[in-house]
Amino acid sequence: MTNCLVLGGNGLIGSFIAEQLASQGHKVRAFDKFWEQDNLKSAAGIEKFKGDYLKRGDLKRTLEGIGVVFHSLHTTVPVSSIKDPLHDAETNILPAIGLLEDAVGAGVKKFVYLSSIAVYGIPEKSPISERASTIPVSPYGVSKLAIEEYVKYFGRAKNLDFVIVRPSASYGERQGFSPETGVVANFVFKALKKQALSIRGKGEAVRDLTHGEDIAKGVVKAAFTETKSRVFNLGTGKGISLNELAKKVGEAVGEKLEIKYEGSARGIQEHVYDVSRAKQELGWEAEIGIEEGVKKCVEAFREKI
Ligand SMILES: NC(=O)c1ccc[n+]([C@@H]2O[C@H](COP(=O)([O-])OP(=O)(O)OC[C@H]3O[C@@H](n4cnc5c(N)ncnc54)[C@H](O)[C@@H]3O)[C@@H](O)[C@H]2O)c1
């Protein structure tokens, strides 16, 4: 049994990490602002710690007695980081360095960092393996990569054990009911509100969409498995186009959806992972198929209308 701290413990992935850990008998502290819906309502055995990641004092207090830290929050997303790169760096890179220093000071044994597929940028080859070049195309991706390097530095300089996981695009019923929280939430939100879906280009962009609960299971396996590698891609390893996703959402809602194709396609067109390392070294594979995942989102979001 290990004392675990989950930063962003009320978030999509973090809340599933906290629950996974508790179900395996670990003692869990979930650190979050808890400013939106409570994703840990029914989670027994999880201590909720309300605090602000940007206040070093809050973080320091929550590190007391902790063995493993799961860092599962970022203050921006790629689009917002492009609008304000300085805010992205100031509110992610600098606090992460303070956190690593304080974790070492508090005697933390292992640091688990949730990075992102965004570190790869435009892939040279698909599917993307952990050996691919990291050339991020957003400040979000740059700061994820910078924090990865700081984690590795603290590993070398301070003997802090660590593992880095890079989730693919993740979704789930614990995301906010809003069009801003990812493509699945966006499509389901619009479908339930009977609004047309809006897709840039022809809808052929392909994503590796992974349910947050699957990502969380991979993260926990990565934290507690003795492995050769320290960096893992976590995703389904399967691509789905935006058009296919729209069809699945229409099927789950039970309606034919109107789609407005607007402008030309932008950004990365194919983001699909090679997940063989996680399969071989962690014995982990995503289990929740897109139909089931979309259905969970539709059911949960329907209740919020
Ligand atoms: N969701 C994805 O598609 C995805 C993909 C790749 C990587 N990631 C990364 O995985 C991690 C978790 O992502 P998620 O989707 O669960 O995010 P999320 O937004 O659902 O959860 C983040 C949580 O952090 C909390 N938080 C944010 N700022 C805070 C602050 N200043 N103080 C205290 N709490 C704060 C929020 O309240 C929220 O509950 C992040 O680092 C994210 O960048 C996510």
How many angstroms separate the alpha carbon of residue 115 from the centre of ligand 1? 11
**Smallest CA separation from ligand 1 atom 39, residue:** 11
Q: Do residues 160 and 105 touch, judged by C-beta distance below 8 A?
A: no
How many angstroms separate the alpha carbon of residue 13 from the centre of ligand 1? 7
pLDDT of 264 reads 86
pLDDT at 297 over 80: yes
Q: Which of 108, 119, 117 is nearest to 70 (CA)?
A: 108
Q: What is the pTM of this model?
A: 0.97
Query: Would you say the CB of residue 167 lies under 6 angstroms from ligand 1?
Result: yes
Q: Do residues 21 and 28 touch, judged by C-beta distance below 8 A?
A: yes
Q: pLDDT tens digit string along 226-278? A: 999 999 999 999 999 999 999 999 999 999 999 999 988 888 889 999 999 99
Query: Would you say the CB of residue 148 lies under 6 angstroms from ligand 1?
Result: no
What value does the mean pLDDT take over residues 34-41?
89
How many angstroms separate the alpha carbon of residue 256 from the centre of ligand 1? 32
Q: pLDDT tens digit string along 135-179? A: 999 999 999 999 999 999 999 999 999 999 999 999 999 998 888
How many angstroms separate the alpha carbon of residue 14 from the centre of ligand 1? 7
Q: Which residues of 244-265 are buried (b: 16+ CB within 10 A; e: fewer)?
A: ebbbbbbebbeeebebeeeeee
- Strands 68-71, 3-7: parallel, antiparallel or unpaired by DSSP? parallel
Query: Would you say the CB of residue 114 lies under 6 angstroms from ligand 1?
Result: yes
Q: pLDDT tens digit string along 73-124? A: 999 999 999 999 999 999 999 999 999 999 999 999 999 999 999 999 999 9
Place 279 in a pLDDT band, splitting at 50, 70 and 90. very high
Query: Would you say the CB of residue 54 lies under 6 angstroms from ligand 1?
Result: yes
Which atom of ligand 1 is least distant from the CA of 175? 20
How many angstroms separate the alpha carbon of residue 32 from the centre of ligand 1? 10
Mean pLDDT of all residues belonging to the chain: 96
Q: Do residues 125 and 109 touch, judged by C-beta distance below 8 A?
A: no
Place 281 in a pLDDT band, splitting at 50, 70 and 90. very high
Domains and CATH numbers, the chain: 3-170+212-234 (3.40.50.720), 173-208+237-302 (3.90.25.10)
Q: pLDDT tens digit string along 216-229? A: 999 999 999 999 99
How many angstroms separate the alpha carbon of residue 192 from the centre of ligand 1? 25
**Smallest CA separation from ligand 1 atom 8, residue:** 116
Please classify residue 15 by burial: count the beta carbons closer than 10 Å to its beta carbon, then call 0-12 exposed, 13-18 middle and 19+ buried.
buried
